[in-house]
Amino acid sequence: MNLRYNSIEHLQIFQRTGKFPAVHAPFIAFVAAYCRSDRLCSLGSGLALDAQEIHEKLGKYVIGIEKIPRYNSAARDHGITIPLIDFRVLASTFDDFAAIMQEHRIEAFVCRRNVDMWHEIGDNSLATGKAASGIYQDPGYHMGEFAALCRDIGIKEILLQGDSRPSKWEVEFEADLFKPIYKQRAVEPPNRVYLTL
């Protein structure tokens, strides 16, 4: 069965069988190989199956932050048990975001395909942030503030996964948004980057 990464069908299979989708395996292996922190936030968690898998297989405490409430509802309805929080990260919500991270003592982010989130944080829309050529432009000055906030609240590691299609290479752009505060420590082609302070 060839299903997209963030699929309700995957949730239904998980609810029925307890099995996680094979399409997540490379990302889970990436987290296992690099992440030293024990308390993680899946930022833009979608249906949260990969976050649940990180919790169950790697023994990490994981929360999910997702801006689309129906995704969290669907995840809960299908057996996802990690804490899921309905929240939109914007420059205007940085203080509330920091409070959530500190309440859960989060030390690292895992993020998949979050270019639109970075543009929201930067007060740009994805439509205006992406050039017609497919090259991503500066998403706004608030991303620098966000990277500094992450450092200040104790986020030590950021693990990014972009789209794997060559025409959609974006993880390099995402990694650059956190520099110079975070340093790129490892790259796993075609679409994964590990950053630390």
Terminus-to-terminus CA distance in the chain, angstroms? 39
Burial class (CB in 10 A: 0-12, 13-18, 19+), 134: exposed
**70-128 pLDDT, tens digit each:** 999 999 999 999 999 999 988 889 999 999 999 999 999 999 877 667 767 765 543 33
What integer pLDDT is reported at residue 165 of this predicted model?
A: 62
Bridge partners (DSSP) of residue 187 are 193
What integer pLDDT is reported at residue 117 of this predicted model?
A: 74
CA distance 196 to 157: 4
* CA distance readout (Å), 47 to 53, 59, 72: 12, 19, 6
Domain ranges for the chain: 8-196
**150-174 pLDDT, tens digit each:** 999 999 999 998 766 654 556 777 7
Class of domain 8-196: alpha beta
